[in-house]
Structure 1
Amino acid sequence: MSVKIESNSYLTEEQQQVYQLRESLERNGGNPVGFLGLLAAVLRGDTWRKIPSGVNDEKPFASFSDFITAKPPFGLGSEVEHVRVLLQLRHPHEGVAHVREEMDTMRAQVRKLLGPAADEDPIAQDAQKFGVHARSGGWVFGLMVARSVQPGQGHGGDRSSLDYQRSERTDGNSGFNKVSAKRFAAMSGTSSTRVMRFYRAWERAVSAGVVPDFDDLVPGQDIELPKTELWGEYFTRYEQSTDRRESIAEQAEAAGTSYTEAMKVAGNPAALRTAILGDPRTAEAARKALADRLEDDAALQIAMARTVAAVPELKKAVASEARRTEQLDYIRRVAGEGKLKTPAGQLIDAPPAIQAEAQRHLAAIESSQEPSPGESAAEAYEAVQDLVAEAIEKNPEVHVAEQRARVHKVLASTARRIASVSDAPLAEIVDEELIREVTALQESVNALIALLPPQTGKRLKVVDSKAL
């Protein structure tokens, strides 16, 4: 029989206190009476800062975490999470006010020294997730889908459906059945298309013998994942073709059409082109589909714009349709808002007769069944413009304001154009033709000044063009 004798006579007073704390932690399992009381004393006296951090090292511990994990006789030789668990134990005498206050103070101090636990610290959680993803890349997401999703399971039901009930498995790995891709997508805030992309990538990896089969995985199960760089072999390489199939499947489901038939059409572009060229109904369906896709497809927008710009007939048709749209907008504004814009740019109230006429023309256009209603829009616009011109002529005040607005508009435009060449090096580029043009312009300005009333003309200087 052998007897182990431990001596701590060489320890300092502070080390002796740490020794007792460690003994409480190891030999009695952290009994609340001993451990919590001794830990409070160590913190109250700042003991852990007053002892060396190791052999031949007089420096104190850099952190309380280091003190907990350091080997005896310097530290507690324990784990931080173990101490966190013990902090949750209740001291038997916490019913006494001063003990409860001491325990509360101690717990608050320890939590402050250790910082938040990993499951409470959002930065720690992000760091852990980042580390996992950095080590395993897309395999992490592939595993999440592979162990949780079974396409078609439960038909996308809710939490009360069979796809969310506890399973009958007895291997201890999981207590839940897998869910459908649609249900998993709803739970994760993404699309079933994206979920299935990861599912199929894992499926390809299964075929290559790189990862376990779906049937060998259960929700929540962790496995050793392949190297990060291998993920691209089963995901990126197939992404374009896979995304194409899944996008067609998604559109087929939304439209209630056959995915198989849609894939047949998509797989034979030449036949699709022939049908569009030979059948007006197919061409119209294609036009509507392209119009719907244009909104979200920037590349298609550019391609269509280039196509229009390269075909003179299309450019002419676009310009014609733009004019028609402007004319209809003008008629709708007059008919609906009772406002009209004069040729000089004034926005005035439309007389009731003109508004009524615009309403009549608009009703005729919208009810027209003509294949090309463009002429009707142009005729309606011209008719309303004639009525506007007539109304302006009959109202002296409006007529004067319209003439004034027109002249101001022309003069302002002319002034801007002259200002745009004022910084040109005229002295260097002047020639006989330029002199004639500037002289003619000055004479035109003088002629306008001469038309002004005498009292106004006194304030303006007429320049002799011969002096130029």
Structure 2
Amino acid sequence: MNEPHSATGNAVLVNALSSSMRSTLNGMESVPGLVRQVVEEGSWRNFTTPRGEHVTHKSFESFVTAKPTRGLGYSIDELMRLVADDAETLRLVTDLIGRPESDFERPESQENVWIEPEAQDVAGESQQELVWRDPSDDPEALQEAEAAAEPDADLNDPVNRDAFELRLVGKSGGWVWALKVARSVQPSKAGGHEESDHHDPNEGGPGRKVSVSEFARLTGWSTRRVMRYHRAWERGVEMHALPSFDQLKPGMDVPLPTAKTWTECFAPGDVSPERAEALVTGAHEAGISVRKVIYAAKSPGAMKAAILADESTAEAARTALLERARNDSELRTALARTIADDPVFRKETAVESRKAERAEYVRHVAGEGKVRTPAGQTLALPQDARQEIAKLLEVVNGPDATPEAVAEAYGTIQSFTTLAVEADPEVQLREQRTKFSKALSTTAKSIQAIDPNDLAAVADDDLREKLTELQKQVNELATMIVNEERAHPRS
């Protein structure tokens, strides 16, 4: 809430705001941006009227309610209805006047309804809605503008007038300013900015459209900024059926969309249209100011510094990265490769993966009340074991569960499994049979994988001894099983 400008400089903003507020609905699209600038720059505190009278205000409310031209001539509630769709401006004003935003919430049925002060005739019937008019049509605002105009600025020329107004209050956005650009600018056919700065005098006169670079010169903007507003109108043609550029002429007024649609089409900052579209969509989905999202995207260095320095910022970045990775296969691959290549990450990943697997097993057993044996048998646990596992589940699901605590819970369930197997001789028999069968199958596969020719080529006394000993053990096992079968034939 600084006061960086002189009283005369502040008057330009105050007069532009007052003029826009006296316009009708479409003209008021610029009001939130102007209010925000007036508050941010402290212009309301100290300014001069068009008649040269010096005015100071100690409170923002007195500035709003004071009669023109010493103030705006509105109530605070009326002003808040005008800026209700601009969350950033609403917050700035409520902070300034010390009142909560809830004081100015409107019933749903009253949204987007605005009644002009003194807009009713004597009979009490509302007058017909007026067409939007340029703020510079206001005599007081125009008087102030002429005093500050550049020597070559002819304010009777609608293009010059549009450019001059944007030069004075160029920090404001909205459909009003996009219209000024759309109706005044004719980019080159290639879409660039290098069209000749001045048209041939024989090809047009006052009211002609000008090149991007010429309009940028008149407004004091960069050509990129002019084109951002031009692209916003182009998107408005697609999304809100606005008139196309070839239908617009300098000074021409058309109905404009509501203020809340502006951020759907306008991308502030120097970003490509493709990035801008994605950033705007992301801002809307998160309910965050588009300006803040664009700024963050344009400041990777600042974003990295905040992540390194601040724990909550790092947590937000981690959450966002994981959410994006779920739908971005390339990012998932990059993250996995980074973790696999880093010894520290690789070790921690192995620990956490084992913890997650064991925790999931504990949850499954607690939910089913059953365990699975090494042989693949499913066994129901007794009631006392289930009660004990329910306590283990609380430990596993705790926010501070350590790998050691989860491993202990997992081991407890394994002990319950062993007891369940030992309690049933038939189950124990199947477990042992499966265990031996797996061991023999593994041994057989290993022997079958040996190439006899390769073995013969490298065999030495040690290998021969090991192979002979193995053959002896296999023969003994086979003989024992055969003799056992003969002594105890199956019934």
Superposition TM-score tier, normalisation by shorter sequence: 0.3 to 0.5
- Which structure exhibits the higher relative contact order, with contacts defined as CA atoms closer than 8 Å and separated by 6 or more residues? 2
What is the TM-score when the length of structure 1 is the normalising length?
Answer: 0.45
Larger radius of gyration: 1
What is the TM-score when the length of structure 2 is the normalising length?
Answer: 0.43
